[in-house]
Amino acid sequence: MANPNKQKGTAWESSIRDYLNSFLGLVDEHGAFLDPFDSGNVRRAAQEGARDVGDIHCVPFVLEAKNTASPAVPTWIRQAEIEAVHAGFPFGVVVQKVRGSSVAMGRVHVSVRTWTRIRLAHQMPTDEFAALYGWSVSLRGRDTSRWYLTTTLRDFAHLVDDYRRNVSVAGVSRAVR
């Protein structure tokens, strides 16, 4: 029998993937990809050992999924950002399971630096970006490397959809493709 914690983690990763694919309109009513070759499909990544590339690829984001009762958000964010670099993606984020809630209520955490880079790509003022996507700030003492922002997976899915529609990805706007 497989490790129960590994099974929980895999189930959480799969539920995130399935939720995002459905939200983004990439699958039919049975969960099958509309276009299996679309690079925009959200997929669970194969594990790569020491050069891990994250749990889920959702262009332009690498998602690190966490299903644990003991949060270590700043550490997880650093891990996600390293894995995004390994995968060749610009942004690494963490998606933490919220016990007793739907997958849409999962908590998405990003560093202040990543949040700022995403906001600038959207060309939005700070207040407007924070309000539109439901971001809240967690400040952990004076060490700014431990500060981060959080939203729900539902609001993050809106952000991904808007990013893909309005921000140039690899030099080509999604609206033009």
The percentage of residues in the chain with a pLDDT greater than 90, rounded to a whole number, is 77
Q: Does residue 15 sit within a domain?
A: no
* pLDDT of the residue at 13: 96
Residues 77-102 have pLDDT tens digits of 999 999 999 999 999 999 999 999 99
* pLDDT of the residue at 144: 82
C-beta separation of 62 from 89 below 8 A: yes
The percentage of residues in the chain with a pLDDT greater than 70, rounded to a whole number, is 92
* pLDDT of the residue at 140: 78
3-state secondary structure the chain: CCCHHHHHHHHHHHHHHHHHHHHCCCECCCCCECCCCCCCCCEECCCCHHHCCCCEEECCEEEEEECCCCCCHHHHHHHHHHHHHHHCCCEEEEEECCCCCCHHHCEEEEEHHHHHHHHHHHCCCHHHHHHHCCCEEECCCCCHHHCEEEEEHHHHHHHHHHHHHHCEECCEECCCC
* pLDDT of the residue at 49: 67
Average pLDDT over residues 99-123: 96
For residue 75, the enclosing domain spans: 45-173
Q: Does residue 34 sit within a domain?
A: no
* pLDDT of the residue at 177: 31
Q: Does residue 19 sit within a domain?
A: no
Residues in the chain: 177
pLDDT greater at residue 68 or residue 172: 68
Round the CA-based radius of gyration of the chain to a whole number and report it: 16
Number of domains comprising the chain: 1
- Global pTM? 0.91
C-beta separation of 62 from 56 below 8 A: yes
Q: Does residue 32 sit within a domain?
A: no
Per-residue confidence at 1, pLDDT binned at 50, 70, 90? very low
C-beta separation of 91 from 131 below 8 A: no
Q: What is the CATH number of the domain that holds 55?
A: 3.10.310
- Give the mean pLDDT of the chain: 90
